[in-house]
């Protein structure tokens, strides 16, 4: 599976399921192809570069929400995500 098939914000587990093992993931982060938004949560550098200030805040919020089961966006993060 290609990295383009991964969600916009993805976990290390999702990357592994898509065929990107720990070493391949680390290589992409080291090369700057993927960015760590939160512990074990990533996005592609292209996604980050295309994002404006509001979209980057949403990416960070989604990454934080991915770190905890049942977490959701609320208040300002939800407002930004919904535009």
Q: DSSP letter string over 34-73?
A: EEEEETTEEEEHHHHHH--HHHHHHHHHHHHHHTSTT---
In terms of residue numbers, what domain contains 7?
Answer: 3-82
Tokens coding 68: 């905890």
- What confidence score (pLDDT) does residue 82 get? 59
Contacts of 26 (CB under 8 A, 6+ apart): none
Q: How many domains, the chain?
A: 1
Question: pLDDT tens digits for 5-57?
Answer: 899 999 999 999 999 999 999 999 999 999 999 999 999 999 999 999 999 99
3 has pLDDT over 90: no
Contacts of 9 (CB under 8 A, 6+ apart): 37, 41, 42, 43, 59, 62, 63, 66
73 has pLDDT over 60: no
- 64 pLDDT band, cuts 50/70/90, is confident
- What confidence score (pLDDT) does residue 1 get? 44
């Amino acid at each position: 599976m290609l990295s383009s098939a991964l969600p916009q914000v993805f976990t290390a587990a999702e990357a592994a399921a898509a065929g990107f093992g720990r070493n391949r993931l680390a290589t992409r982060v080291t090369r700057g192809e993927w960015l760590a938004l939160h512990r074990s949560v990533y996005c592609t550098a292209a996604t980050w570069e295309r994002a404006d200030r509001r979209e980057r805040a949403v990416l960070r919020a989604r990454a934080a929400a991915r770190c905890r089961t049942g977490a959701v966006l609320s208040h300002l993060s939800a407002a930004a995500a919904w535009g």
